[in-house]
Structure formats: C-alpha cells, structure tokens
Chains A and B, each alone.
Chain A
Amino acid sequence: MILALETSCDETAAALVEEDGTIRSSVVSSQADLHARYGGVVPEVASRRHLELVVPVIREALEQGNASLDDVTRIGVTRGPGLIGALLVGLSAAKALAWARRLPLAPVDHLHGHVASLFLEPGPVDPPFLCLLASGGHTLLLDVQAHDGFRVLGTTLDDAAGEAFDKGARLLGLGYPGGAAIDRLAREGEPTAYDFPRARVPGLDFSFSGVKTALLYTVRDLTPKELERRRADLAASYQRAIVGALVDRTRAAAEETGAGRIAVVGGVAANSELRAALPDAALAPLELCTDNAAMIGSAARFVEPVAYPQYLALDAYATSS
C-alpha cells in the first residue's frame, strides 16, 4: 500500500492507495478559505499552513483507511512543479517517513499525478488518450500513450485557465476561488452578449491574457449600476471565451494526434460548460480533479521507486524542466 502526500499549492493532502489503484482513503485539507482574503494563493501563507497540517492529514488518512504505517510499503510524494516552499514541507515529511521506516520513495511529478487521477479504481481510463489538464496552475494538452508519462503538445503562454477564471471573478467582484462563482452566475447570463477574443497563438498553445484584458476594459467602461445589471452576461461571455479556447485546442490536438479518446483533468474539469462541450470526454470524479493525494499515489504506482538511501538528498523543483 502506498502512502502519498501532496503539498504543491494550497491543498494539504494525504492518501492511501493500493497497488491495484483502489483508494483506501483520501484526505484533502483545502486552504481556499485562508487565501480568499488575499484574492489568490500566497506562497508563504500556504507553506506555513502545510507545516501545520501535514501530519494531521497523514494521521487522518491512516485512520480513515483503517491502516497503520506498518501497512505502508512505499511513500509517494509530489516533488514538483509547484510552490517550492510548499513542496519542501511535503517532501521533507515524506523523506523522513521513508527513512525512518526504510521504505522506498516514489517522487511524483504533479502533472503526472493529475493524469494518473484517471487510472484509479473504479472505472480506470487507460492510455492511449489525449488529456486536457486545466487547473489554477496549469493548462496543458498532453499525449498520454502509457501509464508512466506523457508528451506535452501545448501549454499556456501566460495565465492558466483556472487563474483566468479567478482573475475574471475578481474583476466581476465575485470573490475567490472564482471558477465555481463564474460557472454559477454564467447560467443566468447570455453567453453571446459580449464578444471576448479567443487568443490567436500558433500551434496547440493557449493564451488567456487577452480575454482577461478585454474583460477588464469592458468592466471599466461600465457604471456600477450597469455592471450590476450585466454581471451575469459578462460572466457567461467570459466563460464562453475561455471554454471555447480550451475546447477548440483540445479538438485540434485530438485531430492532429489521431487520438480516439479525450480526457479532462484538473480543477477546471468541474466547469459545467466545459463538460457539456466535451460530452464524450473521460472525466475523473470531481474530488479527484482538484489537487489531492490519491492521484499522487496513483502516479506513484508507475514511477520507478527510489530505494533507501538514494532519496535522502532529493530536492523539490518549482517548474518542469
């Protein structure tokens, strides 16, 4: 059984995952409320909270999984990419656990973790497939041919899709996190009310800075009263532009690679318009779409584990090389 830890951004998470992909337990302590007052994730605030929560979430995962550390045969942990100070909390705790118990350690790439959320029981989705990974930190198109990795086909040149939702929500006065708030309000609005631009970048890459700027200018030109009246239309049109860009590129990538199947992972997979626009896409359950440790445990099954004592000097990395 794998004990997995995830502390790359603002969720402190631990999970127990069996070798066959069955989740024994998955505990996620979200810091969203903590960061709401800043309007976004503050790395130092997140790192401090991870230190407070990392052992409590491990204890909780063991308790919920009706297991003890004696049942754990391997430690899986997110090594990057993410907030370096946050990653180092989870990695330090994971190394300490592994060293004390003489267990092998599986260092997991966070993006691989998101993809591997699809490999969990029940109803795993097996490669090959084309994967759209869209979250607050990432927007990527991945060609997934095997369980142990992927090829990057496209990425965002500026903001991540989830970040664009958060920034848009802030412009519309909707609070943080913004994805769910925009999704909710957009249902009451007219998606064609405003013609926000979709980025024209070559290839399979994304750009969301243009649509964000367009929203900024539009909001700035409205009186508070007008903004109040048009808020739902703005949310619907803004969402349409972002989701449209995601869907266009995903379909183009599927065509280019001849992928028979499309999968969507990451927090933005919760967006109802995106789900409706890609009806045949494979989706992980919502609680596995946002950051969690079960997906890290899942990826750990396919990573070459590092034996004691080779991992003792292992460092975290902030960005993918």
Chain B
Amino acid sequence: MGRGLVLAFDTATEVAASALVDDGEVLGERTSRAVTLLEDVDALLRQAGARPADLGGLAVGTGPGSFTGVRIGLATARGLALALDLGVAGVSTLAALAAGAPGALPVIDARRREVFVADPAPRALAPDALELEPGTVCVGDGAVRYRATLEAAGAEIPPDDDERHVLRARFHAALATAFGPAELVEPIYVRIPDADRALR
C-alpha cells in the first residue's frame, strides 16, 4: 500500500491509545490520557528514530466516547495534518475495539448510565436495553463497568484485565484505508448537545 509510517491514536475513551506502524509492522504502542497524547507520540517517534516529517499518514479514532476526548484527538490530528501536509483516515473507536476482539461486541462506557454500541451505526442506550444473543462476548470499558447487567442479559465478559477490553491503536492503523483531508474526518458524537434537546 506504500503508506509508509502511520501514526495512529485514539483519545475518545478514558485511556488514550497510540501506535506507530510502518507498512503493517507495529514499531511501538503506548497508552496514557488524552491531554498527554503528544508525549506518547513523541516517545514513539524517538524510539523508532523517526522525525515528524517522516510520517506518511495519520489514523485517528473518531469516537464515540467522551465529547472532549474525541475533540482532543481530532484537533491534534488536524493540527498535525496541517503542519506536515498529511492525509488522515478516521477510524471508529468501536471498529478498532472490535478488530482487537474478533467475534466480540464492543461496548464503550457512554456515561449517564448508557453505553455506546455499533447497531450497526453507533448509538447510545442503557446497558439493560441491549439485546444480546446468549453467549455474546462483550468487550470494552462499558462491558467492564456494566458487567453484572450484561451478564444477567446473557453476555460473556472476559476478566477485567483481559487485554481485549483495551483499545489499541495498532488496529486503527490496520483499519485505516482511505487517507484524505483532515477536515473531512468527522467526530462521531452520537448524542446531540443537551441544549439542542432542550430546544426541541
């Protein structure tokens, strides 16, 4: 594919994930918080002996997740794309989580006693409103948080420390196919602002 060095990151959830991938080979992977994302990015490039100008593309998680988290990732991607003249590929956070846990249903904590799932389009709903085939494996921070509710509904949840719950940016890089203008990569908020709900 010849994209060369791809920097991937996702700050939509509590744990910010980042990875540096060279033509499919994972050179490094890190996790921290959204606000310290660039420290990870800097460390990944240093470890690989690479400079920002060596990057060939960006893969960024577009949510759903925390509104502010999603925006930190996209604002960072847009700033990097502008400064380095890079193409950006948007990858749904749910899709990246799914890629790391084949056969499982990704469930992201949406706060307010709701979870985000792909249905198939991302949406938010109460954990006990989720309709599950018995034995469905659920992964992600939403699955961990609402373990009791989901297990009662027939789900199987891997242990809390199972790595399938953890978002890994190598999967964003793997799923990134169409690299284009950064401004065209849009956030997946799912929810409208409360103020708009009030106006309806």
Contacts and interface: CB of A to CB of B under 8 A. Distances in A.
A, B in one complex = yes
Interface of A: 37-38, 42, 44-45, 47-48, 50-52, 54-56, 58-59, 69, 84-85, 88-90, 92-97, 99-102, 309, 312-315
Contacts of A42: 193, 195
Contact of A100 (B36, B84, B189): B84
Nearest to A53: B183
A52 B182 CA distance: 11
Contact of B74 (A51, A84, A102): A51
Nearest to A37: B199
A85 B67 contact: yes
A68 to B, nearest CB: 11
Interface string B77-100: 111101110000000000000000
Contacts of B82: 55, 58-59, 69, 97
Contacts of B80: 96-97, 99-100
Contacts of A94: 79
Given A44-B195, A97-B80, A313-B39, 19 more contacts: A44-B194, A45-B193, A48-B187, A51-B71, A59-B82, A69-B83, A85-B67, A88-B35, A89-B75, A92-B71, A92-B79, A93-B76, A95-B76, A96-B75, A99-B41, A99-B80, A100-B79, A100-B80, A309-B39
A312 B42 contact: yes
Interface of B: 35-36, 38-39, 41-42, 52, 67-68, 71-72, 74-80, 82-84, 182-183, 187, 189, 193-196, 199
A93 B68 contact: no
A315 B35 contact: yes
A313 B199 contact: no
A95 B79 contact: yes
Contacts of A89: 71-72, 75
Nearest to A46: B193
Given A48-B193, A84-B68, A85-B71, A55 B76 contact: no
A100 B182 CA distance: 15
Contact of B79 (A38, A47, A93, A312): A93
A44 B78 CA distance: 19
11 contacts: A51-B187, A54-B78, A55-B82, A58-B82, A85-B68, A90-B75, A93-B79, A97-B83, A99-B41, A102-B52, A312-B39
B71 A312 contact: no
Contacts of B74: 51
A44 B74 CA distance: 15
A37 to B, nearest CB: 7
Contact of A101 (B77, B83, B195): B83
Given A55-B182, A312-B39, A96 B79 contact: yes
Contacts of B35: 88, 313-315
